[in-house]
Structure 1
Amino acid sequence: MSTAPSQPRFEPARIIIVMGVSSSGKSTIGAALGRALHAPFLDGDQYHPEANVEKMRAGIPLTDADRWPWLDALSAALKQAAARKGVAVGACSALKKTYRDFITEKAGEPVLFVYLDGSREVIGERMARRSHEYMPTSLLDSQFATLEVPDAAQEHVMAVPVTDSVDKIVRTVTGTLEHLKTFKRWQ
């Protein structure tokens, strides 16, 4: 009999959201996960209203009031994509529990959040090396200040270290999604 811990089992979810602070790798991991699952990938950045983009571009952190319309639009698009294809993957910071609860409520079904867990130092180094259309490095501290680290005991979340390779993270996530192994990839 093995004494190794078993893989966590997650409630079947057709919507998977890769979450974390800016520069944690949400878009990269989300796109790779979408390819692995032959599922549509929706990048949350594409659903921000122009006013949000301009605030971030100016180095002004978003407020809850700024985020609700964005979360609503992304949630609706993910729900529609999952209804059409049977599964959908999204990238969204989902920094607060209330945001994650809102997305799940709007979906009307379980949503698995894949939390890209990394230190301020590691993510700060990543952010300094990349160029983003509207997310300056000055906003990283506000991202960490807003982040409510998801609690796997209370939320439908899987934490993975940002220091793992893209392939390893995708294998880790897909390895826990037993219900998607029979997904009809040709749909």
Structure 2
Amino acid sequence: MSTAPSQPRFEPARIIIVMGVSSSGKSTVGAALGRALHAPFLDGDRYHPEANVEKMRNGIALTDEDRWPWLEALTAALKEAAQKKGVAVGACSALKKAYRDFITEKAGEAVLFVYLDGSRDVIAERMARRNHEYMPTSLLDSQFATLEKPDPTTENVLNVPVTDSPEKIVRTVTGALDHLKTFKRWQ
């Protein structure tokens, strides 16, 4: 009999959001997870109002007031996609617990957050290698300052290390989605 603690079980959800700081791999993992589940994938970056994009492009961190309309628009789109297809996958930083609570409240149902957990050094290295349309490396510190790591004992979250390959992360997530296996979407 094993005495190792097991990962807490999460509440089954039709809406799955891959979350984490910029350059953690949200879009890459989210798109791969959507393909594996044969589910629509919605990238949260596409739901930012132009004013948010301009602020970030100019190296100005977003405030809570900037984020609420963005989170509401993304959540509405994810809810609609899940209603049509039975499941939907999104990518969204969801850095604060209040944001995750807001998303869940607006969805009106359980949302599973897949947290891509990585150190500042690993993320900084990734960020330096990529060219993002509007997220400069100067905003990395503000991302980590805003981040409230989700707690799997109190939140509906599955924590995975960003150092795993996207394929391994997708296998970890799909392996944990017992409630969706009846659809045999990825088998």
- Which SS does the other structure have where 2:113 is aligned? strand
TM-score by length of 1: 0.95
What code does the residue aligned with 2:10 have?
F
Q: What corresponds to 2:40 in structure 1?
A: 40
Query: CA offset at residue 44 of structure 1?
Result: 0.1
Query: CA offset at residue 130 of structure 1?
Result: 0.2
Q: Which moved more, 1:148-157 or 1:1-10?
A: 1-10
Q: What corresponds to 1:168 in structure 2?
A: 168
Query: Does the Cα contact within 8 Å between 2:117 and 2:161 map onto a contact in 1?
Result: yes
Give unpaired runs (5+ residues) of structure 1: none
Q: What corresponds to 2:72 in structure 1?
A: 72
Measure, in 1, the Cα distance between the counterparts of 2:79 and 2:183.
Answer: 17
Query: CA offset at residue 150 of structure 1?
Result: 0.6
Query: CA offset at residue 3 of structure 1?
Result: 5.1
Query: CA offset at residue 8 of structure 1?
Result: 4.2
Matched-pair identity in %: 86
Measure, in 2, the Cα distance between the counterparts of 1:44 and 1:115.
Answer: 15
**Structure 1 residue runs of 4 or more that deviate by more than 4 Å after TM superposition:** 1-8
Query: Does the Cα contact within 8 Å between 1:10 and 1:176 map onto a contact in 2?
Result: no
TM-score by length of 2: 0.95
What is the root-mean-square deviation in Å for CA atoms of aligned residues?
1.4
> Structure 2 matches for 1:8-157, cutoff 5 A?
8-157=8-157
Measure, in 2, the Cα distance between the counterparts of 1:182 and 1:3.
Answer: 31
What code does the residue aligned with 1:151 have?
D
Aligned residues: 186
Query: CA offset at residue 32 of structure 1?
Result: 0.5
- Which SS does the other structure have where 1:163 is aligned? coil
Measure, in 1, the Cα distance between the counterparts of 2:14 and 2:70.
Answer: 21
